[in-house]
Structure 1
Amino acid sequence: MPLVIAGERSGVGKTTVTLTLLASLCRRGKIVQSFKVGPDYIDPMFHQHVTGRACRNLDPVLTSEAYVQECFACHIQEVDFALVEGVMGLFDGIKGTKQDSSQSPIPSPQSPIASTAHIARLLDLPVVLVIDCSRLSGSVAAIAYGYCSFDPRIKIAGVVLNRVGSDRHLSLLKDSLEPLQLPIIGVLRREDDITIPDRHLGLIPTAELPQLNAVIERLADLGDTCFDWDRLLPLLGTRDWGQGDKGDKGGFSSSKIPNPRAKIRVAVARDRAFNFYYQDNLDLLQELGAELIFWSPLEDALPKNVQGMYFGGGFPEVFAEQLAENTSAREAVKCAIVAGIPTIAECGGLMYLCEEIVDFQGKSWSMVGVLPTKSVMGGRLTLGYRRAVALQDNLLVDAGATIYGHEFHRSRLIPEPNLPLFQTYRCDSKEATGDEGWSLPMNLYASYIHMHWGACPEIPQRFLAQCMKVAF
């Protein structure tokens, strides 16, 4: 059955191990479907670069437990192997539960909601634990034993020993693990010359890495020799996984598709500055009747005759100068919004619609200017799941509605909105985090909160219903 790659903590090399496995499997000519636990956008880009298939996020906070199961079941059909990359450490998640009817309580404190362990248990999948061995030898057994025994519902199928320094080091590790009779699935030596660069929000996205193909080839070479494939291949197959209804795409009902007479033309900003999109969201838009027209605010003119616009997150602060130089695109976007074109702008998209972006060096760059505020970069990271209660009717939800999303940014708005979209709260407590988001009456939704629409297709349905009113 499919396999989960988990870490004993963040930074142990889960992504490297996952990419090494994917690269080696794809080199063998296999069709591989990957998944990522949590709200991350960047790791899935690397998965897709290797497999040629969109990676799917499994996140019960942003969606629901039922959606996670149905999405997984749908996308492992007609593939040879499936692999799930975890998030943080195996048991790292959030306390409590979502306060809605789609999320049942979790009875055990050992597997917090949205943790890798939660997903492994929800999908009944075995786990391979990645251990960073760079600063330990005999203690590896205590770590492995602790993870195996902490929650007996989680099946640890074996371990991958990462950053092993020498043959002598490996011998000490093996001797320590032998009494546990825990299979060693793989051994990766220290490879300081195989690196993927990062910056202030994590790994640098794939579109900015011209050398990435060479790195993936080296990982594939490594994967061919560092894993116990006789043990791995049976764990990765999909034929023996038989949970739930495999015919439903994440619970989306075809009866909700408005089936317009003509496709609804939606311009989607996608380039090096804007590339944070959940593939499920794009799929939903298309299933609901949208024709997605991808374009680059860095280099292109706004496509003509569009009925809606979608600006995802990304790194507009890194490309602020080039965005500012494309004045015709900025002016066209502003005119379209002022004219009433329904527009969604999340995080980086919100920043682009501001009057200016002030970068880390304190330089100001002119942006679209439809929102009377500046986006100012800073050192403070705003991070976490959010429960957001709508304070006013807007393009996507009515006043009083509750949505669940995720924030991950180092910018802030000056001034803050005087008529915010949401009152926001931490998902794992009643602690309010503040007011958030900008809106224009029924045609602009702009927020730092990233949403996954998988379990709430009424949101994109409502967006496209407004788009259908636009004539051209």
Structure 2
Amino acid sequence: MALIIAGERSGVGKTTVTLALLSYLSKRGLQVQSFKVGPDYIDPMFHKYVTNRACRNLDPVLTSESYVKKCFYKYSRLSEYTLIEGVMGLFDGVKTSPLPLSLVRRGVDNFASTAHIAKLLNLPVLLVIDCSRLSGSVAAIVHGYSSFDKDIQIAGVVLNRVGSDRHLSLLKNSLQSLPIPIIGVLKRQDNITIRDRHLGLVPTAEIPELNQLIDKLANLGENCFDWENLLPLLQNTEISPPSPPSSPTHSLPKIAVAYDKAFNFYYQDNLDLLQELGAELIFWSPLKDKNLPKDIRGMYFGGGFPEVFAQQLAENNRTRDAVKAAIVSGMPTIAECGGLMYLCEQIVDMNGKSWEMVGVLPTKSVMDKRLTLGYRRATALQDSLLVDAGKTIYGHEFHRSSLIVDSDKPLYQTYRFDCDEFMGKEGWNSPPNIHASYIHMHWGNSREIPQKFVDKCRVFDSLGNVKDYLNLTPFPSP
């Protein structure tokens, strides 16, 4: 069994409730596997920090319904308890018209919503309600959510941001007429705040007081929930041992994965796939390291916050030069969103100040207040490092920057996922060993994409045409 934490809308406290439960279970030494509905990167960072297990994304837009089920059953069986954090409000999803019918069950409404995942996996839901401006009306809300779709089982509710004992009494009296138990009650916790900024929560690596915060959340988890009713909903009845890793049949091309405070938006499944396909991942920091890792044959720059650390990235000019030399020499390179920004000539930050970057893409990345957000359906306009011309991929954009100059050889023609609204042409494929785009992809249902990347890295390994450059004595540390 597993339980999905859902909200009656965004901002009601799903993440706080989820982290409180995960923190308490982990504090007791229990094994718990977490999942996150949707394309989110930062919430899974918090999950992993608490549980010491990689959180897995369940997103049928980026992958497929079949992959969501495969991923869930594969990893949930490896732990004692399983918890899924939902996305937005319970029934908030997207239209399915652009998706091939082979990827969608007919009759699915609110595709990729928390409710969709609950029905797909046949799991109960714990509904979190923001009670800060409610009293008697709470019963109408719970009744509406529990009766809107009879295929959704509301196993209980969590009353969040309760103001006082009297307030709680009013809420309980209102809910007495409904056969849905109150599983948790959280008072207004002004001392528990997770900082945020322009793209959501501040990532875990940037919160020095994170351990104290987790301790407070664990205390909430211990004291604010009805564990007698809650624990059976989370407990797995069957636990399977992990399968032994398969031995690669080819040489292991080393791929440098940028991972630090500036670049940390990666789907764990993508990293796992690269390793399963025969790559050796070498994690390094464009912020701190003074050279590229030795003997690498490919580079992967994920998303993140290069704009926040633009000065530090700019000052590490020797590493920028090494990255540029490797790319110019033909090294296969993936750059998603923040990675694309890093490969530009400059990043112009929120204060309008310009910072020198790698410079292999002849454009600037400029921060502004406009948020670009949403699922994308994109068709490849030419053969590239990762996809062949004419292939359709599904991805996600989430950024507040834009490029001054568009590519004259764009990667994709893009549309909004849930309609045929043309979004434009975007991404860079020049030189041809670069795949740079604002679109984040999850490769779970498109194994051929990472396979193509690993194969290109393996061929580059046999050429070895930058070997002498990369094996120079490392630059001294500061």
Give the TM-score range, shorter chain.
over 0.9
What is the rounded CA distance, in whole Å, between the counterparts of 2:241 and 2:209 in structure 1?
39
Contact 2:37/2:59, CA 8 A, preserved across alignment: yes
What is the rounded CA distance, in whole Å, between the counterparts of 1:96 and 1:178 in structure 2?
38
What is the rounded CA distance, in whole Å, between the counterparts of 1:149 and 1:193 in structure 2?
35
What's the offset of the Cα at 1:108? 4.4
Per the alignment, in what secondary structure is the counterpart of residue 24 of structure 1?
helix
User: Which residue does the alignment assign to 2:225?
Assistant: 227
Post-superposition Cα deviations, 1:266-317, rounded to whole Å, max 9, x if no partner, equal 0000000000000000000001111100000001021122100000000000
What is the rounded CA distance, in whole Å, between the counterparts of 1:203 and 1:464 in structure 2?
32
Q: TM-score, normalised by structure 2?
A: 0.94
Match of 1:138 among 136, 139, 150: 136
Match of 1:346 among 336, 341, 360: 336
Per the alignment, in what secondary structure is the counterpart of residue 222 of structure 2?
helix
Contact 1:74/1:247, CA 8 A, preserved across alignment: no
What's the offset of the Cα at 1:455? 0.6
Match of 1:174 among 168, 172, 175: 172
Contact 1:160/1:187, CA 8 A, preserved across alignment: yes
Contact 2:347/2:364, CA 8 A, preserved across alignment: yes
User: Which residue does the alignment assign to 2:216?
Assistant: 218
User: Which residue does the alignment assign to 1:99?
Assistant: 99
User: Which residue does the alignment assign to 1:44?
Assistant: 44
What is the rounded CA distance, in whole Å, between the counterparts of 1:78 and 1:378 in structure 2?
43
User: Which residue does the alignment assign to 1:410?
Assistant: 400
Return structure 1 stretches of 4+ with deviation > 4 angstroms: 246-249
User: Which residue does the alignment assign to 2:156?
Assistant: 158
What's the offset of the Cα at 1:105? 3.8
Match of 1:435 among 420, 425, 428: 425
Per the alignment, in what secondary structure is the counterpart of residue 99 of structure 1?
coil
- Name structure 2 gaps, 5 residues minimum: 465-478
User: Which residue does the alignment assign to 1:206?
Assistant: 204
User: Which residue does the alignment assign to 2:269?
Assistant: 280
Map 1:47-446 → 2, pairs under 5 A: 47-100=47-100, 102-109=102-109, 112-239=110-237, 259-260=249-250, 262-300=251-289, 301-446=291-436
How many pairs were matched up?
A: 460
Per the alignment, in what secondary structure is the counterpart of residue 95 of structure 2?
coil
What is the rounded CA distance, in whole Å, between the counterparts of 1:12 and 1:222 in structure 2?
16
What's the offset of the Cα at 1:102? 4.0
% identity of equivalent residues: 69
What is the rounded CA distance, in whole Å, between the counterparts of 1:227 and 1:98 in structure 2?
42
Per the alignment, in what secondary structure is the counterpart of residue 67 of structure 1?
helix
Letter of the structure 2 residue corresponding to residue 269 of structure 1: A
What's the offset of the Cα at 1:77? 1.6
Post-superposition Cα deviations, 1:241-289, rounded to whole Å, max 9, x if no partner, equal 9xxxx8999xxx98xx9731x2110000000000000000000000111
What's the offset of the Cα at 1:99? 2.3
- Name structure 1 gaps, 5 residues minimum: none
User: Which residue does the alignment assign to 1:453?
Assistant: 443
Contact 1:395/1:463, CA 8 A, preserved across alignment: yes
